[in-house]
Every structure is written in structure tokens, then in C-alpha cells.
Amino acid sequence: MRIKDKIHAQTKNVNLQKVLNRYKCITKENPRQSTGRGMSLDHLKNFKSIRNKERANIISRELSNITSNKARKSLEPLQLDKEEFSPETSSPLGGRLTFAKMTRTGYIPVLPETGFKKKQNQDSSIILQNFLGITNNYFLGVFDGHGTNGAKVSGFIKNAIPEEIKRAYEELTSPVGTDINSNFKTMTAGFINKDKNPARLDTYQNLRFRTKIIEQSIDNAQKKLKNRAIDIKFSGSTANICLVGPDHVLTCANVGDSRSILIKCHNEGTKQEVWTCKALSRDHKPDLSDEKSRIESNGGRVACFRDSNKKNIGPPRVWLKRAQIPGLAMSRSFGDEVACCAGVTHKPEIQHCPLTQEDKAVVLASDGVWEFLSNKQVTNILTNYIKAHKPRKGCEKVVSESVRLWKLRDSVIDDITIIVAILPSSQDTGIRGKGVYSSLSCNRLPSC
């Protein structure tokens, strides 16, 4: 085959729908700066004309590793840059978690205007030990940015949320009579009067207080974001956080489509040993009945992007009622000022889950993992690594498998971030917590 024919064949195979599926926001702003999940309409026009002679050579080189079946079969083992791997681990003894986190920058083969510069990783993650000054109290979080300033938004939110929770907790547990310019004590006064127990003001373990603290802290983080010098008209971030404390209650708060699961082992050490998982959050998609209802009642609409032939392309998105913006493919998010006018909210869904001896690990990940891997598949991949207390190897395997599936099934690769936290064994934890209070009904959580 002549070189010219090869170039034509490679560029011809690029699928517009696959590219559109991977962009959270379609906007007319900053066509030359749109990165990550924000794809401008000008970029769509450029993509459609990508097969012209001037661009053919460049595009074919960039797509050769993806569009060629021969290249796919000879993929090199996954290599991660040092700065993309965070080898944060701790001892499994003494009631502490064993944990690791890993992130991998995605890949966009098109958009010639960017000069084919390396894609910016818009994911962020955080692990805080002895959170709030409480021994063996952990804060875990994964944040997936989108739009031109998605990396800035996720990076800001990952620090703002724990800072606000810490401030709220310190104010709630401060001595009575201290002059504090805050509404947290007023907010919780109803709980104290109802329980007739002022001492409850001093406990982080009370789940109702914990829920209110998280809700108010997330609200404050959103307000602070709006006051930052970051353009968030068409940029935002998801947030999936988990708090694991010495009271043996796991609390998950979720905004957007990042996800966390709890991995369990039944009948451990017997022939009937079975590994399962429980979803701790649900993906906030615009076509969910309750999410769609809220969007429509706030002046927005839910529809897929349509091409010139009125054919639906990609997932359902959020639009203004009378304008073809912003095209956000999630129903809850931080930032995204334009989408907020269409019913998108930053309000979290919170789940409290009492831990038992069957609970073995918590996994948080951005949708770069969940796009092609189910909760059960991730559980199956991690089982042996959890048994061996090797979360780092488990992270590497999940990321490697995610990248492999992206290369096989799509023309782009999303940013991939994962945290694996192995819970301490039963002999280290003693009697685990009982009781549960949740602001998210269990029947609304997807099954594994």
C-alpha cells in the first residue's frame, strides 16, 4: 500500500462519536485553549476536516499507535513517570490503613491547534493521615477536573474541602463561650436541644454532625472557588471523598461521576471464600430520573449532542434551555457556573457505612478507571493484592488494565487516578462500629 493510502486509511478510521464521548463540556469559549474534557465547537469543525493533505502526515503519526491493530498487539508494558506515582503507604499494624495512590495522564490524538503537546492531567488526589488530629483517622479523595481550567479547579478543591472540614470540626469542638464568627454552632443547635446532651457538640463520631459538617464544608469550598481568580464558566471538577475513622464507620461524599467502592470478603480462609463489593456512591449522570427532574425544574434541559444530520452523538448532557451550552455530561459538579444556571449542583450525596470484619479495602477512582471496568472487575483484579497487603501493585494493575482497554476501545485515553486503601485486619481493630445514618438511600446505589 502506498504511503498516501496508509495515511488516508489511518485518518479515516477516527470515530467522531468516540471522541465526543470523552468530552464532558462543549463550549464556544477559548477554542485554542480547550483541553481535557472541554471541547470547543471549533475543534469539532477541525476534527471533521482532519483528513486534508496538510494535516494528514501529522495526524497519522499521532494515531498510528492506536489505529493500527499490529501496534495494539505489540504494546509496551505500562511505564509511569515518577511524578505520576505516589508511593504513599503505611504499616497495616496498629489499626492503620495500608494505602497507595496512582495517576496516569491521558492522551488526545487530535486537536492540531495544541501542537500535539502532552495532555495536562486534570485529575487530583489526596490522602491525609491522622485527619483532624484523630489517631488513625483518614481523609481520602479523588477529584476529576474538566474544561480549560479543570486541573486548577480539582487542585483547589482537593485542599479546600479538608481545610473546611477541619475548620468546622475545630469550631464545633471549641470551648463554650469562644467568640467564633461561624454558623456551624447555630446549625447544630437543633440536634443538641433534641438530644438534650450538650456533650454531643464535642464528638466527631456523631453521624448527623458529620453529615452537616461535610455538607457545609463542601458548600464553603464552592464559595471559595468562585472567589478565586479561576475562570469556572465552563470548567469544574468532580469530588469523591471517603473518611475512615477509629469509630469504624466509613463516610463517603460524592459530587459528579468519580466513584468509590468497598471490597468485602465472605467466609475468609475457607473453601467458601467469596469476594464481593458494595458501591459507596453513584455516578451523577443527567439522565437519572431525579437528576433530570432537578435540571428541568431549574431551567435546564437534558439531551445528547446532535450533528448536522440531527443524529445523537455521545452521552446525555446538560444544556441551557435556549442555548447550546455548556453540554456538561454530569449533573453535579464543582465550578461550572454556566451549568449551575441549568440545574447542575455541587450538593453531595453522603453515605455512612459501618465497617465489619468482612470489609477489606476501599477503592476510589476517577471515571478513567470506571469507563471500561465494572466494580466487580476491579474487585477481581485487586483481590490477590489485598490479601498480600500490596496496594501499590494493585494500583499498577488496575491502571495498566484501564489503559489497555482505552487503547482497544477508543481513540483517546482519559486521565486515570486510583486510591486503594486496605483496611486493618480484625485483630487490629477490635469491635467495629454499629449503626448507620445515611442521606442517600441504599436502594439508589448501583449494585456490583
Report the distance separating Cα 65 and Cα 61, nearest Å: 8
Confidence of residue 207 (pLDDT cuts 50, 70, 90): confident
| pLDDT beyond 90 at 219 | yes
The share of the chain scoring above pLDDT 90, in percent, equals 57
Asked if residues 101 and 129 have their Cβ atoms less than 8 Å apart, the reply is no
pLDDT of residue 429: 43
DSSP string covering 202-234, please? G-S--HHHHHHHHHHHHHHHHHHHHHSS---SS
In the prediction, which pLDDT does 166 show? 94
The least confident of 53-57, 126-130, 417-421 is 53-57
In this structure, of 199-208, 326-335, 359-368, 436-445, the range with the lowest mean pLDDT score is 436-445
Whether the Cβ atoms of residue 395 and residue 345 lie closer than 8 Å to each other = no
Structure confidence at residue 196 (pLDDT): 44
Is 70 exceeded by the pLDDT of residue 286? yes
* Interval 241-267: pLDDT, tens: 999 988 889 999 999 999 999 999 999
Evaluate whether 304 touches 20 at the Cβ level (below 8 Å).
Answer: no
Q: What percent of the chain has pLDDT over 70?
A: 65
Q: How many residues does the chain have?
A: 448
Q: How confident is the model at residue 21 (pLDDT cuts 50, 70, 90)?
A: low
φ, ψ for residue 261 (rounded to 5)?
-135, 160
- The domain that holds 50 is classified in CATH as 3.60.40.10
pLDDT value of residue 103: 96
Across 75-82, average pLDDT: 38
Q: Give the model's pLDDT for residue 425.
A: 73
Lowest mean pLDDT among 16-20, 62-66, 138-142: 62-66
- Comparing 309 with 111, which gets the higher pLDDT? 309
- Mean pLDDT on 425-439: 42
- Which domain range does residue 83 map to? 5-444
Mean pLDDT for 49-69 is 41
DSSP reduced 3-state for 235: coil
Mean pLDDT of the chain: 77
Residue 185 has pLDDT above 60, yes or no: no
* C-alpha span between 432 and 434 (Å, rounded): 7
Strands 25-27 and 38-40: parallel
pLDDT of 367 above 50: yes
Domain total for the chain? Answer: 1
Question: How far is C-alpha 79 from the geometric centre of its chain's CA atoms?
Answer: 23
**Mean pLDDT, residues 438-444:** 44
pTM for this prediction: 0.77
192: exposed, middle or buried (Cβ count in 10 Å: 0-12, 13-18, 19+):
middle
pLDDT-derived band of residue 239, with 50, 70 and 90 as boundaries?
Answer: very high
- Report pLDDT for 332: 98
Q: Is the pLDDT confidence value at 78 over 70? A: no
Q: Residue 336's pLDDT is what?
A: 97
- Confidence band, pLDDT 50/70/90 cuts, at residue 115: low
* Stretch among 43-52, 103-112, 400-409 having the lowest mean pLDDT: 43-52
Mean per-residue pLDDT for 286-307? 95
Q: 112-121 long-range CB contacts below 8 Å, 24 or more apart? A: 112/46, 112/50, 112/55, 112/58, 112/59, 113/31, 113/32, 113/43, 113/46, 114/32, 114/35, 116/58, 116/62, 119/35, 119/36, 119/415, 120/35, 120/36, 120/151, 121/84, 121/151, 121/415
Top-confidence residue, 9 or 445:
445
Q: pLDDT band for 119, please (50, 70, 90 cuts).
A: confident
